[in-house]
Amino acid sequence: MPATADELKPLLWKPENLVRAIEAAGVTLWSWNVDTDALAMDDRAYDLWGIPRSTDVKFEDLSAHIHPADRDRVRAAFNATRAIVGPYEIDFRIMIGDELKWISARGQGDDVGMVRRVMFGIFIDVTGRKQAEEGRELLAGEMSHRVKNLLAIASGLTAITSRSTSTTDEMAKELTLRLTALGRAHDLVRPVPGQTDAASVLLGDLLTVLLAPYNDLGAFSGRIRVSVPRMRVGESATTILALVVHELATNSLKYGALSVDTGTLDISCSARDKAVTIVWTESGGPDVKEPAGPRGYGSKLLERSVTGHLRGSIDYEWATVGLVVTLIVDPDLLAK
């Protein structure tokens, strides 16, 4: 017959069974003489700290394994335990060779937990928990970064769209098209199994998707032509290029080649001399000339995006037959 609860209780307090429970919990034991600084540890604690078993150790011997950034904090905490009443706990990092571990030290302070000036406590390896916490913090930070980027680009697209439309209905329609295109562009930004570890998208695919809302506004399809080499664009650069493309396309729709049914737009790209050059060429539209007066919001946004985020340059050639815009960007930042 199975043992009853009363029959099991004596087994619980047998030393060998207490040891089994401690090992199952991943707990290691220590005692510390607060006057002599001598430490005694069980075998599992020696293994945890990477110290040969049965070695005489003091707290300073353990300090040599504590991560330099945590060492002073841990020393101060252990010294303070002489005056602490009640339980205490501190988490810190240790280095075992090139391996980093997180340790949680727990014990009783200067009260009934001390016997003949000796304190008792445990070490627990909490590396897994700390890594999970760091992962959650990293994810939260990344989500915050992405949300801020999306809000920034939505704000920029709203400002751009407001300048190319005259009614609220037109603005709502065009803004929806552009935000949908942006969403599709970001859907393309995914790691490619076996090819890339980071999220990225092909430059040609990105430009085609971003310009799709403008390509079907003319009398014939295919008036926007994209011819670029196979090149990857990272997630951060995708947001910047989206702003650049929508600003240029908005200006073209309002004043340039895309403002008439017969206008065309060609986008080409080359990569040499550690620089990526993207050329935006409009033709078949009305005569254009360089705007007079101070630059507007869109021009400032373009320059700030290209020179700041992509460490590049932007140049305008106001040819009579159509505008030519040349972007030169850092390939390393384009890939991020």
pLDDT, tens only, 242-269: 878 877 887 787 788 888 878 899 999 9
- According to DSSP, the residues that pair with 106 across neighbouring strands are 89, 122
The whole-number pLDDT of residue 146 equals: 54
With left for phi above 0 and alpha for psi between -120 and 50, is residue 48 left, alpha or beta? alpha
Listed in order, strand segments (DSSP E) in the chain are: 27-33, 38-41, 57-58, 87-96, 99-108, 118-125, 200-202, 224-227, 232-234, 264-272, 275-283, 313-319, 322-329
Residues of the chain with CATH 3.30.450.20: 5-125
Q: Which residue has the tokens 């007079």?
A: 292
Q: Please answer whether residues 205 and 241 qualify as being in contact, where contact means their C-beta atoms are separated by less than 8 angstroms.
A: no
* Rounded Cα–Cα distance for residues 209 and 219 (Å): 19
Q: Please answer whether residues 301 and 243 qualify as being in contact, where contact means their C-beta atoms are separated by less than 8 angstroms.
A: yes
Which residues in the chain show pLDDT less than 50? 191-193, 195-196, 218-220
Level-2 CATH architecture, domain 131-334: 2-Layer Sandwich (3.30)
Mapped onto helix, strand or coil, the DSSP state of residue 4 is coil
Tell me the CATH number for domain 5-125: 3.30.450.20
Both structure tokens of 84: 């602490």
Three-state SS annotation for 115-137 = ECCEEEEEEEECHHHHHHHHHHH
Mapped onto helix, strand or coil, the DSSP state of residue 249 is helix
Q: Could you tell me which of 298, 302, 309 has the C-alpha nearest to residue 159?
A: 298
Q: Could you tell me which of 96, 119, 107 has the C-alpha nearest to residue 31?
A: 119
Residues of the chain with CATH 3.30.565.10: 131-334
